[in-house]
Amino acid sequence: MHKFVAIVGSNSDDSTNRKLLQFMKRHFAAQAEIDLVEIKDLPMFNKPENRQVPAAATAIAEKIDQADGVIISTPEYDHSAPAVLMNALEWLSFHIHPFVDKPVMIIGASYGSLGTSRAQAHLRQILDSPELRARIMPSSEFLLGHSLQAFDDEGNLVDQQKLAKLTGLFTDFQTFVDITKELNHANEVNRKEVQNVNWDKL
């Protein structure tokens, strides 16, 4: 059984992105183990001179290292991923590199009708950066619009077409994870390159 880390890309206590991940954890429990991870308590990234990474960030990095893949659920603020999520990714690429060649599935929920399409596109660019180098599952947007009305009182998705798409994409992600395990011939070089990034000159 696959083990996934699911990052809640919001610091809101009432985030529908958290609800979406909580639903996935329950609904796909027979297929995979999903561990929800919060990022809202991470300090603001400030590129510390002593290169000290906060314990909360290293704990998340260790979970990602041990996981088969990562699921990130992002809101959309101003056509972009939220600052709290970008802050987390900055810590997770500052002298620690858990995302190198790690399979990632991006999803998102928003109150509007378009879901989080622009935030997801932005997040793909960030995760593909030289400091992160994640392997993002291609052609796999899951956009949950009108998310305040998307769940019933038990936290289940009510739109069966959306559920069918999420189920298909989650199955595809598991296949993507298995395929990615075979695409590891440059992993050692990739890790050396990110370790050699000179943050003092960035």
List the CATH number of the domain containing 134: 3.40.50.360
Show the domain range for 37: 2-201
pLDDT at residue 109, as a whole number: 93
Q: What is the pLDDT of residues 20-52, one digit of tens each?
A: 999 999 999 999 999 999 999 999 999 888 889
How far is residue 106's CA from residue 72's CA, in Å, rounded to a whole number? 5
How far is residue 129's CA from residue 64's CA, in Å, rounded to a whole number? 18
How far is residue 158's CA from residue 151's CA, in Å, rounded to a whole number? 6
The number of beta carbons lying within 10 Å of the beta carbon of residue 82 is: 22
Spans of the chain below 70 pLDDT? 198-202
Provide the domain count of the chain: 1
Q: By the 8 A CB rule, do 108 and 116 touch? A: yes
pLDDT at residue 114, as a whole number: 78
How far is residue 171's CA from residue 112's CA, in Å, rounded to a whole number? 27
DSSP-derived 3-state class of residue 24: helix
